[in-house]
Amino acid sequence: MRVDALALAELRERTSEKWREYPDDVLPLFVAETDFPLAPTVTAALEKAVRSGDTGYVASRTPLASAYAGFAGRRFGWTPDPARMRSTADVSMGIVEIQRRVIRPGERVVVNPPVYPPFFDLVTEAGGVVERVPLRDTGEGWELDLDGIATALAAGARAILLCNPHNPTGTVHSAGSLAALARLAEDHGAAVISDEIHAPLAQPDAAFTPFLASGGAAGRIGYAVVSASKAFNLAGLKCALMVAASDETHAVLRGLPVEVEWRTGQFGLLAAVAAFSPESDAWLDGLLVTLDENRRLLQALLAQHLPEAHYRMPDAGYLGWVDLSGLGWGSNPAKQILRQARVALHYGPAFGAEGAGHVRVNFGTSPEILTEAVERIAAAREKISAPASILPGAE
């Protein structure tokens, strides 16, 4: 099954953040929404719910946990126990609520910048203090700095907020590094919260390992927070799952207030059950093929039009992390790109100091839009390079 993005005119009918933040002359490649149609299985589930007015609260017994267990079994070769999962409104809420149970106010939580910008706020929202241990650039990719994390744990950090696969670099962490992280955390009495929202979009050649499947220690000290929302573009419907793999960690999830679960969206739950069902697998495989083509297209476009840019293809997802420092466009090139090329990219420095000179490009779109975006940036390069002081409207 081929999965192609909608045309620009159809996309402009959408009213979500991606399509309403900027005026119509801007190509939006910033926020993590995709431009694909819904999977037919998801459309059918939502249409059925609308027809019957099935819009009440989520039931206390639902097929969601079993649907995810089936999905993880088919896609990752890992079958978590549905009895050890609880739903909530979104991945962010799951991350905050779990932290509230595993750290005390003022304790430190490790994050690995450059990283999904809200991670910093999700730690403080839970009363924690952010401890930055940047990813290590190996020259060929990125990896967890296990020595740096060990130092942070020895100095008292109580949890690690892992991004697996990692946003923005698209890194699928190796099974070995996850197992080593789990052992380190266990040795120091710390918890690992693994955000696996991009996992369904790991490319088949990337050998994605769910954190909780990386060995015994991971099951004892880890939590995963998962969702169908990135792969199936369901972020507005509000549904995620918190997953535990031991009696102890399950007891922590069980201890969360019942309201955490009540906030799950009914449409989100119905859509997620459909998305995780075997009937959606062919659609997801088709989407992965399209995203594989797009991650390669972005590489070819940059090589052709902006050869100074440095980009490594991600192992997962639809986000490209591009280093534009070679172009001398300053620490936050996305600002000038927006102004001069009318292309909206995510600001690199928002991901941490390591993001200076970088932009994040959302390639979950059509080849036409992606091509036009890079061509617009290349065509505006003289204006983008000009010192900010001589540009009209420059801040």
- Three-point CA angle 164, 170, 172, nearest 5°: 45
Q: Residue from 197, 221, 228, 384 that binds ligand PLP (CB under 6 A)?
A: 197
Distance in angstroms (rounded) separating the CA atoms of residues 335 and 323: 14
Instruction: Convert residues 1-20 into a mask of x (bound to ligand PLP by CB under 6 A) and - (unbound).
Output: --------------------
Task: Evaluate whether 244 touches 250 at the Cβ level (below 8 Å).
Answer: yes
Q: Which residue, 238 or 250, has its beta carbon nearer to ligand PLP?
A: 238
Task: Restricting to residues 50-109, name those near ligand PLP by CB under 6 A.
Answer: 90-92
Instruction: Convert residues 152-181 into a mask of x (bound to ligand PLP by CB under 6 A) and - (unbound).
Output: -----------x---x--------------
Tokens of 6: 């909608």
Q: Residue from 229, 233, 336, 366 that binds ligand PLP (CB under 6 A)?
A: 229
Task: Evaluate whether 41 touches 241 at the Cβ level (below 8 Å).
Answer: no
Compute the Cα dihedral for 280, 286, 292, 295 and give only its sign: negative
Strand pairing of 310-311 and 319-323? Answer: antiparallel
131 part of the interface to ligand PLP, by CB under 6 A: no
Strand pairing of 85-88 and 240-243? Answer: antiparallel
227 part of the interface to ligand PLP, by CB under 6 A: yes
Q: Which residue, 188 or 198, has its beta carbon nearer to ligand PLP?
A: 198
Instruction: Convert residues 318-357 into a mask of x (bound to ligand PLP by CB under 6 A) and - (unbound).
Output: ----------------------------------------
DSSP code for 308: T
Torsion of CA 18, 21, 23, 24, to 10 degrees: 10
Q: Residue from 36, 68, 71, 116 that binds ligand PLP (CB under 6 A)?
A: 116
Q: Residue from 103, 172, 231, 235 that binds ligand PLP (CB under 6 A)?
A: 235
- Three-point CA angle 303, 309, 314, nearest 5°: 80
27 part of the interface to ligand PLP, by CB under 6 A: no
Tokens of 100: 């509230």
Residues within the interface to ligand PLP (CB under 6 A):
32, 90-92, 116, 163, 167, 195, 197, 227, 229, 235, 240
